[in-house]
Amino acid sequence: MAALDWLVIAATIALVVAMGFRLSRRQGDEVDYFLGGRRLRAWPVGLSLLANQVSAISLVGAPAFIAVKAGGGLRWLQYELAVPLAMAAILIILLPIFHGSRSISIYRYLDERFGPDLRLLVTLVFLASRSLGSGVVLLATAYVTAVCLGISLLAALAAIALVALAYTTMGGITADVYTDVIQLAILWTSALVCIIILVRMLGGFPAPLATADPGRYAVIVSGGGAGSTFSFWPMLLGGFFLYLSYYGCDQSQAQRLLTTADRGQSRQALLINGVLRFPIVATYCLIGYLLIPFLAAHPAFAARIVDLPPDYIMPHFFRSFIPAGLLGFVIAGIFAASLSSLDSALNSLSAVTWNDVLLPLRPSLAGMRKRKKLFVSRLLTLFWGGGAFLAALAMADSGETVIEIVNRIGSAFYGPIAAVFLVGALAPRVREIAAISGLLSGFAANLGLWLFHGDGVSWLWWNVAGFSVAAAVALALPGRSAPAAAPPGASVSRPARDRRAVVYLIAWFVFILLALLVLDRLLGAA
């Protein structure tokens, strides 16, 4: 690492921390801290949603999956088909409810629609899964940062955690959103830098290699039964319910949709995220495509990484082939990507703890002075930041197995939670006991698939199975003789602009599908 690289990294860190402290001056209460006073515009919110899906694993894991991972390849692009469909469902079903509720937390809707027990159950699931997930993001990024910077894993963990806490604790959601935009720009530019370097070192844009595994060039992979995780149907259907729950029923993402002044701005944010995500993922996949001939043309480098886990190919590529100055920029991009994932998690954990745990248990807290509420909100962010750091330390010696287990746990919960929200919105006669029974039944079904079928059933199918079982049980149970009281915003009409946005998203889905089919045909013919 040259001095110029360290300077670039230090400048990036200083920029995001300074922005957090500057934005902290605009905060007067917990609504400013958690929702930016509901004054944010569509473009920064949409780009922030996009940045939250970009972590160190995006620039590191996606190319590795395509180029070297067993069973990998360009089939990863199929995953993106589910995004516009999930955005359309969120826009037409969930967005009117959340904006009508006017709450800091989306889980308040479950209290208004069903009752406090369901709200508390879903809240506890979110706090446990998201805090553990934050530790995984922190640990995965620390591995990459430690390799690139040549520092210890503990030092990398501490550095990332401290920077994320510095601007998130002071600046709140507004700092998160605007720094996310900067971080996304840095990361996307870093990916383009890698592509330019690879093309120049290969002497031009290469055609598919005849000696390579032909399956790596397959974009559309039919099937989806048994343990075929990365095939068309599990990635489309399982991905749909995964993204529906993650973007629409997870506070870390949905909280951003509540920062806008009205539903129209949130609608635009969903459109921005739904349309721009595919080009970014395609950029990462292009790096993986270029790495296949690059490894064949550089056997010495390929031999150096052959015994390492796939995710280490990109960090070693950075250190070996990216010039000084640009290396610092790329590492800053990875560092920034991790920060954008961590800041949203920490702020949402703090928001849910305040709104869905502390206030219901101690209603008198609502009468505190505004500045004191703001102080408590910041303390909660510090608390969850420390929790993520400790979780990362606990998993530091567990390797990839822990990351796989956490991903499986997430898929076990996504489908049932999405079912509860959608049943609440679309079936007004379902009561709390039926919804809780459905939620627990969905969890039990996914747990059974995990324990008794293991790798025989793709974990992406768990999202479908959990949703289906939870919805079926909730709808089938008795006690539906009278409609439950409608929560605020539940009967909001769907304006023509909402319907038009759904049409745009479906058209974008069709475009992506046609583009993937054409790409699959071209690469197969080559």
Could you give the CA distance from residue 38 to residue 62 in angstroms, rounded to a whole number? 35
Length of the chain, please? Answer: 526
Average pLDDT score over residue span 352-357: 90
pLDDT tens sequence across 486-525: 555 555 556 778 889 999 999 999 999 999 999 999 887 6
Does residue 249 carry a pLDDT above 90? yes
Average pLDDT score over residue span 94-121: 89
Average pLDDT score over residue span 294-300: 92
How buried is residue 212: exposed, middle or buried, by Cβ count under 10 Å (0-12/13-18/19+)?
A: middle
Q: Give the model's pLDDT for residue 489.
A: 55
pLDDT bracket for residue 430 (50, 70, 90): very high
Token code pair at residue 439: 């939620």
Q: Give the model's pLDDT for residue 400.
A: 46
- Taking the mean position of all CA atoms in its chain, how far away is CA 272? 15
Instruction: Name the range with the highest mean pLDDT among 46-60, 249-263, 473-487.
Output: 249-263
pLDDT tens sequence across 60-107: 778 888 998 877 889 989 989 999 999 999 999 999 888 877 788 999
Q: Give the model's pLDDT for residue 93.
A: 92
pLDDT tens sequence across 214-240: 788 989 987 765 456 778 988 899 989
Does residue 383 carry a pLDDT above 50? yes
Q: Give the model's pLDDT for residue 402.
A: 42
Could you give the CA distance from residue 212 to residue 289 in angstroms, rounded to a whole number? 11
Does residue 55 carry a pLDDT above 50? yes
Average pLDDT, the chain: 84
Residue of 391 and 53 predicted with greater confidence: 391
pLDDT tens sequence across 398-420: 544 444 555 666 788 899 999 99
Q: Give the model's pLDDT for residue 493.
A: 57
3 state DSSP class of 218: coil
Answer yes or no: are the C-beta atoms of 78 and 222 closer than 8 Å: no
Lowest average pLDDT, out of 121-125, 363-367, 456-460, 483-487, goes to 483-487
pLDDT bracket for residue 180 (50, 70, 90): confident
Instruction: Show Cβ contacts of residue 473 under 8 Å, excluding neighbours closer than 6 positions.
Output: 434, 437, 438, 441, 442
CA distances from 511 to 58, 82, 283, 353 (A): 23, 13, 17, 41
Q: Give the model's pLDDT for residue 403.
A: 45
Q: Give the model's pLDDT for residue 352.
A: 92
Q: Give the model's pLDDT for residue 333.
A: 73
Q: Residue 260 forms beta bridges with which residues? A: 40
Could you give the CA distance from residue 163 to residue 17 in angstroms, rounded to a whole number? 7
Answer yes or no: are the C-beta atoms of 421 and 94 closer than 8 Å: yes
The CB density around residue 225, as the number of other CB atoms within 10 Å, is 12
Does residue 465 carry a pLDDT above 90? yes
Counting runs of H as helices and runs of E as strands, what totals does the chain give?
A: 22, 0
In SS3 terms, 171-234 reads as: HHHHHHHHHHHHHHHHHHHHHHHHHHHHHHHHCCCCCCCCCCCHHHHCCCCCCCCCCCCCCHHH
Range 3-525 classified under CATH 1.20.1730.10: yes
